[in-house]
Each structure stands twice: as C-alpha cells, then as structure tokens.
A and B are shown apart, each in its own frame.
Chain A
Amino acid sequence: MRLPLPALLLAGIAVAFFALPLVGLLWRAPWSNAWVYLTDDTALTALRLSLVTSLCATALSIVFGVPLAWLLARVDFPGRGAVRALCLLSMVLPPVVGGVALFFALGRRGVVGQYLDDWFGVTLPFTTAGVVVAQTFVAMPFLVITVEAALRQLDPRLEEASRTLGASRWYTFRRVTLPAIRPALVAGAVLAWARAFGEFGATITFAGNFPGTTQTMPLAVFLSLETNPEEAIVLALVMIAVSFTVLAGLRDRWFGAATQPAGVAS
C-alpha cells in the first residue's frame, strides 16, 4: 500500500528522530579505544549483571503477570478497574518514585521489609535480588497489558470446547489458552525484558550502585559519563546493540498476531 505524501513525510521525520541520537553516538564513539573499554572489567561485569537480572525480572513477570492478566481479563470482580490501574501504575510513575516507594515497603525498616529481615533474614535493598525486584516492578505491567488484551480477544468458546471434551481448567489453560495467546506472550515478554534491561531510576534508588552486585549497564553508563565520557559512549552502544538485536528479532508477525483475534477456527 502507498501512503499519501504528507503521511510518508511525517513518518520519515519520525524515523529520523529515532535514528539521529544513534548517529550522534556512533559519530562520537572512540573507535580506536573501543576494544579496551569493551573488555574492561567494569563493563563486562555490568553487562553480565544486566543480562542476568533482566532475564530474572522477565521470568518473574511471566510467572506472576500471566495469571494477573488472566484475572483482569476473565474474572468480573468489583473494583477490577482500580486493581488494573494499581498494577499498571508503575508504567507511568517516574521510576525514582517507584524506587523510593519500594524502599519504604521492602527496605530493612519498611512495612514488609522489617519482617523479611526479622523472620527470614532477607534483605532486598542494595542486593542483586533488589535489582530484580526493582526491574520486575517497572517491567511486569508491559507483559500484563499485552497478555490481557490477547485474552480479551480470545474466543471464550475455545476454552469451553476444551472443557466439554474432558479437559480440566488447568489442562485447558496449558493446551488451548497459552498456545492461542503465545504471540502476545512473546511480545509482552520482550517488551518487559527491554524495560527491565534499560531500568535505571528504581534500581539506583532501591538497590544502589555497587559494582558487581547492583551496578547494571544503565548505571554504569550514567556513572562513567562523569568520569570517562568515552567509556559511557561505548557502553551505551553495547546496550543499544543488544536491545536492537532482540527487538529486530521480534518478527512483525508477533506484533501483528498479538492484535488479531487469535485462535478462532475458520
């Protein structure tokens, strides 16, 4: 399909708007020293920590987010709108605010945190686990919102057909519901992962900035801006490369299929 000229022009400007900062980074990149920065201990540690924590956060988002999306999509309970707003709040909240709130809730003297500390000896702030909690807090809504939309579009009779064939609710969920919403689940998981991977504000507020335990890539980029801008650029480019590879690997059909009514037979 051919777009009308004005739309094409505006779309072109939008693409340029996203491409220019990248060009800026590439322009200023210290190519001759890049390898030194890349193999630098700080960079590698931060990258590994970022990958591990963001994948953990994605896994947690799936484990808790899919049932949450199911609840929001399928169960009609009073106050559902309020519950949904609450669960999606961290998408629009400034991450620093989220981090502060997490601190007062789960910190050593926090509402829940003091019992975690007293009873189980678990301390979340300033630990790698704290990073995962902060990332999950901001990332899970992206998965919930995507999966809930897919569940709403799913023909409920598919699940009913499964039940009449002798399948329990759980079997139905695994064999009918999950395959039908798989495109949305993949898209939601990737969005959540991308959000977790780039998380900065909540992490630095709640988990601090300790190399090796809580200093993720975005934190490392921010700090090296002060001390060594050249290193910051290289680290930023690494982050961009990783994220771009994943998002580009998300084939169009995952996004397309996630917005189609999935799984309706002929």
Chain B
Amino acid sequence: MTLDARIGLRLGALDLDVELHAEAGEVVALLGPNGAGKSTVLRCLAGLAPVDSGRISIDGVVVDDPADDVFVEPEDRPTGFVFQDYVLFDHLSVLENVAYGVRARGAGRGRARQSANEWLERFDLADHARRRPGALSGGEAQRVALARALATNPRLLLLDEPLAALDAGTRATVRRDLRRHLETFDGMRVVVTHDPVDAHALADRVVVLETGRVVQAGTLAEVTSHPRTRYVADLVGVNLIVGVVLDGVLTTPTGARVVIADAADGSTLATIRPHSVLLTRGDSVASSVRNTWPGTIVDIDRLGERVRLAIDGRLPLTAEITAAALDDLALRAGDRVHASVKATDIEVAPA
C-alpha cells in the first residue's frame, strides 16, 4: 500500500511541482510557509483539484493522470479529508455528520447510524451524538471531523492544518489526542502544518515545501540538523527535546538535564532555537547560564553567512553561529565544545 504522486499545477500565482510518496502506516507532514502550496497538494490528492501534469496513484490505482485522460472523482477515491476548521455540516447532528459518508455510499440508515455510533464511542463523543456541531468546542469539533472522515474507511487520510483553528490552551491536549487517534489508523496519512512541533508530534517524515517546490524531505531530525534553506533553518530547524519535567528540570531519555523557566511537571516538549545556543571552546566554563552541556562537533554546515553545527553528546544539539565566529573560534569537526542555553530561551509545551 503506497501513495505515489507527482503533482504539476498552475493556480494563480502558484506554480506547483511536487513529488510525494508515502508507505502504509506512515505519517508524512507537509511543512511550509503560507502560499507554498501545501493545501493545494492535499486538494489534488483528494480530487478536489485536478492536476495539470503528473500522476497520482493510491494503492497502485491511478486516480489522476491527465496524459492518460484518467481522473477519478473525489467520491470514488479511497481518501478521507479533515479540513482546516473542520467544515462540519451545521444542519445535521453530530451523529448524522459521522454517518453521512456511510449513507452517501449507499448504506441504509440503520447500518450507517450503528457504524457512526461506534465511531463516536471510540472518539469519546457518544454524549454529543444529538448535538449540533455549532455547540461543540474546537477539540470536540476536530474529533467529529476526524471520525466523519475515518468512518468511510479511507486508505489515505489527509489533514489540512488540523490544529490551526485551536487556541494555544487546548492545542497541546488536542495534539496528544490526535496523535493517539492517528496511531489507531493503519492507512497512510498526510498532514499539512506550518508548526514543526505538530510535525514532530504527528509525523514520521517531513516534506518541506516552498513556493510550490519540495526543498527538503526526510525525517524531522535529518531536516532539523541539515536545513537546506533559510526557511527550513528558521522554522523547522529547531532543537526539539522530549523529556519529563520535575521541579523545573527536564530530564531526557538519555539522561541529560535541562533547566527550564516555567513549566508544569510531566511529559514535555522543549524547543531551543539554534541561534540561542552559545558555544565555547574547551572543557570548563563558568557563567550565569544555567544550562551547559559538553559535546563534540560532528558536523559543520555552512548556509551563507551562518553556520550550523551538529553537536553530539548526552544532549545532541544544533547550534547556529556566524561564519566570522566560527573562524574566530577556529572550530572543526571533532573539537570538544560546551554548549549553553539560557533557561529563558527554551520554549516548552506539554507533550
């Protein structure tokens, strides 16, 4: 079971030329700035926009190939779509929303309702079955949208910015729920997002899109440590650290300790921007900085005037310094350094 897509499309100012692959059970995140064409890629996969050139095949079945005059209508594709801000049917109850797809595919009312009830049960929505979508919270609406899409048994699930419509307070909880629910689905998933934290939480692999082109693809760790463009470096190329917080100290699975400013106890995701990482040569340092970790430079990546260094140690980090600073310190791969980060420069989110 695979997704193979080459999408060429001109739409207004957007000139899209993207290749995308996904394997069974895989979650691919499409990352990119606004206007990069992420949502348009999803629309092409779902059949909501036909491609001008290229070819899309899902599970070996070609669903769009203008050269061969093949176009499968959205209702006949094995895809499920979760829209940004969900687009639930306001004139139907929550139950009817989830039953809609099964009904539309020709099942009787009874069977559709039974299947919808099972999905509502699975998504902890049973109490809301009779309510109208307008009366739901953002997180609940998202679960309804997800249940509605999954109820038709898609092989490929497409999610367009599933967390963007939520406020910061509920985002972390909903993200965790979404990950849990996505894990129970064994088909392929493509998630559009512009937040690397979401990508980290939800995806196995990321594809970064800029102005209609794939600029980089790989695991998030690969992309983070070797960003190929300014955008990737600034937005995606952050250090993501997973660990458990106790009394203001985060401990990673490898045993590194990170002092953070304000965070509740529990499982936490910390992000450190590479340019917040200070590097000093040698073995011992004394400063006001609370977080200092020894490490070895394993890789140096030049990106114009800035340089990215991959530092291996108990806490692997990516640091970004200027080319001039690199020359001043005369740093080379293999050198021992100390990396320090101010506690206030670390952003945290519950994981």
A contact set with B: CB distance below 8 Å: 155, 157-158, 160-168, 171, 175-176, 179-180, 263-266
B contact set with A: CB distance below 8 Å: 46-48, 73-77, 79-81, 83, 85-91, 100-101, 104-105, 133-134, 136, 138, 141, 148-149, 152
Tell me whether B149 and A264 are in contact (CB under 8 A).
no
Chain A residue at minimum C-beta to C-beta distance from B133: A265
Chain A residues with CB under 8 A of B77: 164
Contact of B91 among A171, A180, A266 (CB under 8 A): A180
Chain A residue at minimum C-beta to C-beta distance from B84: A157
Known: A164-B48, A165-B149. A263 touches B91 (CB 8 A): yes
Distance in Å from the Cβ of B46 to the closest Cβ of chain A?
Answer: 5
User: Which 10 A-B residue pairs are closest in the complex by CB-CB distance?
Assistant: A165-B101, A167-B104, A265-B88, A164-B81, A163-B74, A166-B105, A179-B91, A161-B87, A157-B87, A166-B104
Contact of A165 among B90, B136, B138, B152 (CB under 8 A): B152
Known: A163-B48, A163-B73, A164-B79. A264 touches B100 (CB 8 A): no
Tell me whether B89 and A176 are in contact (CB under 8 A).
yes
Tell me whether B87 and A166 are in contact (CB under 8 A).
no
Distance in Å from the Cβ of B311 to the closest Cβ of chain A?
Answer: 45
Interface centre among A163, A168, A264 (most CB of B within 10 A): A163
Known: A163-B48, A164-B79, A166-B104. A265 touches B87 (CB 8 A): yes
Chain B residues with CB under 8 A of A167: 75, 100-101, 104
Tell me whether B134 and A266 are in contact (CB under 8 A).
yes
Chain A residues with CB under 8 A of B100: 162, 165, 167, 175
Distance in Å from the Cβ of A162 to the closest Cβ of chain B?
Answer: 7
Distance in Å from the Cβ of B160 to the closest Cβ of chain A?
Answer: 10
Contact of B74 among A155, A158, A160, A176 (CB under 8 A): A160
In the assembled complex, the Cα of A168 lies from the Cα of B100 at a distance in Å of 12
Contact of B90 among A164, A168, A265 (CB under 8 A): A265
Tell me whether B90 and A175 are in contact (CB under 8 A).
no
Tell me whether B152 and A158 are in contact (CB under 8 A).
no
Contact of B134 among A161, A171, A265 (CB under 8 A): A265
In the assembled complex, the Cα of A165 lies from the Cα of B88 at a distance in Å of 12
Known: A158-B87, A263-B91, A265-B141. A166 touches B152 (CB 8 A): yes
Chain A residues with CB under 8 A of B85: 265-266
Known: A265-B141, A266-B88. A171 touches B80 (CB 8 A): no
Distance in Å from the Cβ of A231 to the closest Cβ of chain B?
Answer: 48
Interface centre among A158, A165, A171, A176 (most CB of B within 10 A): A165
Chain B residues with CB under 8 A of A175: 100, 104
Chain A residue at minimum C-beta to C-beta distance from B160: A157
Tell me whether B46 and A164 are in contact (CB under 8 A).
yes
Tell me whether A164 and B149 are in contact (CB under 8 A).
yes
Known: A158-B87, A179-B91. A266 touches B141 (CB 8 A): yes
Distance in Å from the Cβ of B241 to the closest Cβ of chain A?
Answer: 35
In the assembled complex, the Cα of A176 lies from the Cα of B83 at a distance in Å of 16
In the assembled complex, the Cα of A65 lies from the Cα of B47 at a distance in Å of 29
Tell me whether B104 and A158 are in contact (CB under 8 A).
no
Chain B residues with CB under 8 A of A165: 75, 80, 100-101, 104, 148-149, 152
Tell me whether A155 and B87 are in contact (CB under 8 A).
yes
Distance in Å from the Cβ of A235 to the closest Cβ of chain B?
Answer: 42
